[in-house]
Amino acid sequence: MPEPAMPAAPVLPAALAGELRAAGLDAEAVAAVAAAALAEDLAGGIDETTAATVPAATTGQAALVARSPGVVAGLAVVRVVFWLVSAELLTVELTADGGRVAAGQTLLTVSGPVGPILTAERTALNLLCHLSGVATLTRQWADAVAGTRASIRDTRKTTPGLRALEKYAVRCGGGRNHRMALSDAALIKDNHVAAAGSVAAAFAAVRARAPGLPLEVECDTLDQVAEALAAGAGQILLDNFTVPQMAEAVQLAAGRALLEASGGLTLASARAVAGTGVDYLAVGALTHSAPALDIGLDLVQTS
């Protein structure tokens, strides 16, 4: 029996789709995520509470307001959510993704039929609070290493289905993206080394299969760093190295490879790690452990 066809992603207004593409996002993919989130919230039915309490003719305006200071990310995604619920809703951004916001600051207003505003509220906030939380945490890490040569990079430790949006939020917070998927870069880890027999053997195998693919080698010891350098590695991940070991690895590499610190990193230690001369700090917590930024929706006017 053939598999049922997946529904096509909603076609967004050209201007909104263009804003998403300008931010490095796939407009169809964002629309699909927002539509799936709304479908999950409605579960094939309607918003019973809103239907019972809000007359259909009621119009008004609501404000998305930051309850805590942070960095905002996902405003265009919120606009997609509101548009999907009702094309009659008009949204106006009062800040921009990547901007620092204060507690009490209005981020976006939405006006039109109140029923659709309230139906979209939770889905819009779920996405905006999460993405802004990722951006806020990333900014804290980026600020911690400011003035050093090091940049903050994310990992693939992302929420299934939200990787592109979470990595976008990392960029909004001043971080940099590592690979998006397993196919766009190679990262030789300990299990690959075990399977291949050595760092050099694993490196040679990847290079033989994909000569032009970006390639990074994870190393657990300084001896492995030396082996990776000898093999010609241009990027090396220092896994769970101490700060003195990282400094020694920087001296050993002597500019021949980009070095990335990973494992056991904390905000408190970030500056000391960056001070060793590594090029990147890989921080999985940016996406897997960022607390949501507290943002609420307030009705400010009805008629």
Name the residues annotated as catalytic.
122, 157, 189, 218, 239
Contact in structure between 12 and 5 (CB atoms under 8 Å): no
CA gap 173, 163 in Å, rounded: 15
Phi, psi of 217 (to 5 degrees): -115, 125
4: left (phi over 0), alpha (psi -120 to 50) or beta: beta
113 neighbors 58 (Cβ within 8 angstroms):
yes
Through-space distance between the first and last CA atoms of the chain, rounded to whole angstroms? 52
Distance CA 33, CA 37 (A): 6
HEC string of 36-78 equals: HHHHHHHCCCCCHHHHHHCCCCCEEEEEEEECCCEECCCHHHH
What are the structure tokens assigned to 167, written together?
A: 């990595």
Retrieve residue 92's tokens: 């106006």
